[in-house]
Structure 1
Amino acid sequence: MSKSKKLRSSEWFNSDNKKMNFVHRSWLRNQGYPDDYFEGKPVIGICNTWSELTPCNGHLRQFAEIVKRGILEAGGFPMEFPVMSLGETIMRPTTMLFRNLASMDTEESIRANPLDGIVLLTGCDKTTPSTLMGACSVDLPTIVVPGGPMLSGRFRGEKIGSGSMNWMVKEKQKNEAFTDADFREAEVCLARSIGHCNTMGTASTMATMVEALGLTLPGFSSIPAADSRKKMFAQLSGRRIVEMVKEDLKLSKILTREAFENAIVTNSAVGGSTNLIVHLTAIAGRIGVDLKLEDFDTHGSKVPLLVNLKPSGKHLMEDFYYAGGLPVVLNRLKPLLHNEVITANGKSLGENYKDVACYDDDVISSLENPLKKEAGIAVLKGNLCMDGSVIKPSAASEHLMKHTGKAVVFETMEDYHDRIDDPDLDIDKDSVIVLKGVGPKGYPGMPEVGNVDLPEKLIMQGVKDMVRISDGRMSGTAGGTVILHVSPESTIGGNLAFVENGDLIELDVEARSLNLMISEQELAKRRSEWKVPESLAKRGYVKLYVDHVEQAHKGADFDFLVGGSGSKVERDSH
Structure 2
Amino acid sequence: MPEDKKKFRSASWFGRTDKDGFLHRSWMRNQGFPDDVFDGRPVIGICNTWSELTPCNAHLRALAERVKRGVWEAGGLPLEFPVMSTGETNMRPTAMLFRNLVSMDVEESIRANPIDGVVLMCGCDKTTPSLIMGAASCDVPAIVVSGGPMLNGKFRGRDIGSGTDVWRFSEDLKTGKMTQLEFTEAESCMHRSAGHCMTMGTASTMGSMAESLGLALPFNSTIPAVDSRRSVLAHLAGRRIVEMVKEDLRISKILKKEAFENAIRVNGVIGGSTNAVIHLLAFAGRVGIPLTLDDWDRLGRDVPTLIDLMPSGRFLMEDFYYAGGLPAAIRALGEHDLLHKDALTVNGKTIWENCKEAPNWNREVIRDFENPLVAHGGVAVLRGSLAPDGAVLKPSAASPHLMRHRGPAVVFETIEHYHERILDPDLVVDENSILVLKNCGPKGYPGMAEVGNMGLPPKLLERGITDIVRISDARMSGTAYGTVVLHVCPEAAVGGPLALVEEGDMIELDVEARRLHLDVPAEELERRRASWKPSLPTMKGGYQQLYVEHVMQASEGADLDFLVGCRGATVTRESH
Give the TM-score, by structure 2 length.
0.98
Q: Work out whether residues 444 and 536 of structure 2, in 8 Å CA contact, stay in contact via their aligned partners in 1.
A: no
Partner amino acid for 1:320? F
How far residue 531 of structure 1 moved from its aligned partner, in angstroms, is: 1.1
Question: SS of the residue aligned with 1:544?
Answer: helix
Q: Work out whether residues 143 and 241 of structure 2, in 8 Å CA contact, stay in contact via their aligned partners in 1.
A: yes
Map residues 169-568 of structure 1 onto 2, 5 A cutoff: 169-334=169-334, 335-568=337-570
How far residue 65 of structure 1 moved from its aligned partner, in angstroms, is: 0.6
Partner amino acid for 1:144? V
Question: SS of the residue aligned with 1:567?
Answer: coil
How far residue 274 of structure 1 moved from its aligned partner, in angstroms, is: 0.1
Distance in structure 2 (CA, Å) of the matches to 1:531 and 1:174: 36
Map residues 53-68 of structure 1 onto 2, 5 A cutoff: 53-68=53-68
How far residue 530 of structure 1 moved from its aligned partner, in angstroms, is: 0.8
RMSD of aligned Cα (Å): 1.2
Q: Work out whether residues 100 and 130 of structure 1, in 8 Å CA contact, stay in contact via their aligned partners in 2.
A: yes
Say whether residues 1:8 and 2:9 are aligned partners. yes
Question: SS of the residue aligned with 1:333?
Answer: helix
Post-superposition Cα deviations, 1:472-515, rounded to whole Å, max 9, x if no partner, equal 00000000000000000000100000000010001111110101
Distance in structure 2 (CA, Å) of the matches to 1:131 and 1:252: 15
Distance in structure 2 (CA, Å) of the matches to 1:457 and 1:369: 37
How far residue 4 of structure 1 moved from its aligned partner, in angstroms, is: 8.6
> What fraction of aligned residue pairs are identical, expressed as a percent?
62
Distance in structure 2 (CA, Å) of the matches to 1:281 and 1:75: 36
How far residue 410 of structure 1 moved from its aligned partner, in angstroms, is: 0.3
How far residue 177 of structure 1 moved from its aligned partner, in angstroms, is: 3.7
Distance in structure 2 (CA, Å) of the matches to 1:243 and 1:221: 22
Q: Work out whether residues 306 and 372 of structure 1, in 8 Å CA contact, stay in contact via their aligned partners in 2.
A: yes
Post-superposition Cα deviations, 1:111-170, rounded to whole Å, max 9, x if no partner, equal 000000000001101000001100000010000001100100000001000110121133
Partner amino acid for 1:491? A
Post-superposition Cα deviations, 1:501-534, rounded to whole Å, max 9, x if no partner, equal 0100011111101011011111111111111214
Post-superposition Cα deviations, 1:259-317, rounded to whole Å, max 9, x if no partner, equal 00000000000000000001111011111111111111011121011100001100000
- Which residue of structure 2 lines up, in the alignment, with residue 97 of structure 1? 97
Question: SS of the residue aligned with 1:336?
Answer: coil
Name the CA shift for 1:36/1:554 in 2 (closer, same or farther; >3 Å). same
Structure 2 residue ranges without an equivalent (≥5) = none
Question: SS of the residue aligned with 1:326?
Answer: helix
Post-superposition Cα deviations, 1:195-222, rounded to whole Å, max 9, x if no partner, equal 0000000000000000000111112211
Partner amino acid for 2:293? L
Q: Work out whether residues 537 and 546 of structure 1, in 8 Å CA contact, stay in contact via their aligned partners in 2.
A: no
Say whether residues 1:32 and 2:26 are aligned partners. no
How far residue 3 of structure 1 moved from its aligned partner, in angstroms, is: 4.2
Distance in structure 2 (CA, Å) of the matches to 1:448 and 1:270: 21
Distance in structure 2 (CA, Å) of the matches to 1:472 and 1:41: 47
Post-superposition Cα deviations, 1:525-548, rounded to whole Å, max 9, x if no partner, equal 111111121431211000000000
Post-superposition Cα deviations, 1:324-368, rounded to whole Å, max 9, x if no partner, equal 110100111102010101100001111111212111100001223
Q: Work out whether residues 163 and 198 of structure 1, in 8 Å CA contact, stay in contact via their aligned partners in 2.
A: no
Partner amino acid for 2:513? A
Distance in structure 2 (CA, Å) of the matches to 1:429 and 1:285: 40
Partner amino acid for 1:11? S
Distance in structure 1 (CA, Å) of the matches to 2:575 and 2:293: 41
Question: SS of the residue aligned with 2:222?
Answer: coil
Question: SS of the residue aligned with 2:298?
Answer: helix
Distance in structure 2 (CA, Å) of the matches to 1:368 and 1:359: 17
Post-superposition Cα deviations, 1:404-452, rounded to whole Å, max 9, x if no partner, equal 0000000000000001110111111100000001000000000000001
How far residue 573 of structure 1 moved from its aligned partner, in angstroms, is: 5.5
Post-superposition Cα deviations, 1:74-122, rounded to whole Å, max 9, x if no partner, equal 0000000000001101111100000001110100100000000000001
Q: Work out whether residues 333 and 367 of structure 1, in 8 Å CA contact, stay in contact via their aligned partners in 2.
A: no
Name the CA shift for 1:7/1:182 in 2 (closer, same or farther; >3 Å). same
Name the CA shift for 1:75/1:390 in 2 (closer, same or farther; >3 Å). same
Distance in structure 2 (CA, Å) of the matches to 1:502 and 1:63: 54
Partner amino acid for 2:149? P
Name the CA shift for 1:529/1:573 in 2 (closer, same or farther; >3 Å). farther
Distance in structure 2 (CA, Å) of the matches to 1:57 and 1:293: 31
Partner amino acid for 2:28? L
Map residues 82-93 of structure 1 onto 2, 5 A cutoff: 82-93=82-93
Partner amino acid for 1:56? C
Distance in structure 2 (CA, Å) of the matches to 1:440 and 1:175: 33
How far residue 322 of structure 1 moved from its aligned partner, in angstroms, is: 0.7
Distance in structure 1 (CA, Å) of the matches to 2:24 and 2:537: 45
Question: SS of the residue aligned with 1:79?
Answer: strand
Aligned match for 2:573, one of 560, 563, 571:
571
Partner amino acid for 2:440? V
Question: SS of the residue aligned with 2:426?
Answer: coil
How far residue 176 of structure 1 moved from its aligned partner, in angstroms, is: 4.4
- Which residue of structure 2 lines up, in the alignment, with residue 52 of structure 1? 52
Name the CA shift for 1:275/1:75 in 2 (closer, same or farther; >3 Å). same
Partner amino acid for 1:83? V
Distance in structure 1 (CA, Å) of the matches to 2:431 and 2:357: 49
Distance in structure 1 (CA, Å) of the matches to 2:199 and 2:271: 10
Distance in structure 2 (CA, Å) of the matches to 1:381 and 1:373: 22
Distance in structure 2 (CA, Å) of the matches to 1:485 and 1:39: 51
Partner amino acid for 1:80? E
Distance in structure 2 (CA, Å) of the matches to 1:282 and 1:48: 21
Structure 1 residue ranges without an equivalent (≥5) = none
Partner amino acid for 1:373? A
Question: SS of the residue aligned with 2:304?
Answer: coil
Q: How many residues align?
A: 573
Distance in structure 2 (CA, Å) of the matches to 1:538 and 1:295: 37
Question: SS of the residue aligned with 1:408?
Answer: strand
Post-superposition Cα deviations, 1:39-68, rounded to whole Å, max 9, x if no partner, equal 111000000000000000011000011100
Name the CA shift for 1:169/1:369 in 2 (closer, same or farther; >3 Å). closer
Distance in structure 1 (CA, Å) of the matches to 2:63 and 2:179: 38
Which is worse superposed, 72-81 or 180-189?
A: 180-189
How far residue 181 of structure 1 moved from its aligned partner, in angstroms, is: 2.0
Which is worse superposed, 215-224 or 461-470?
A: 215-224
Distance in structure 1 (CA, Å) of the matches to 2:54 and 2:165: 19
Name the CA shift for 1:225/1:4 in 2 (closer, same or farther; >3 Å). closer
Question: SS of the residue aligned with 2:13?
Answer: helix
Name the CA shift for 1:573/1:494 in 2 (closer, same or farther; >3 Å). farther
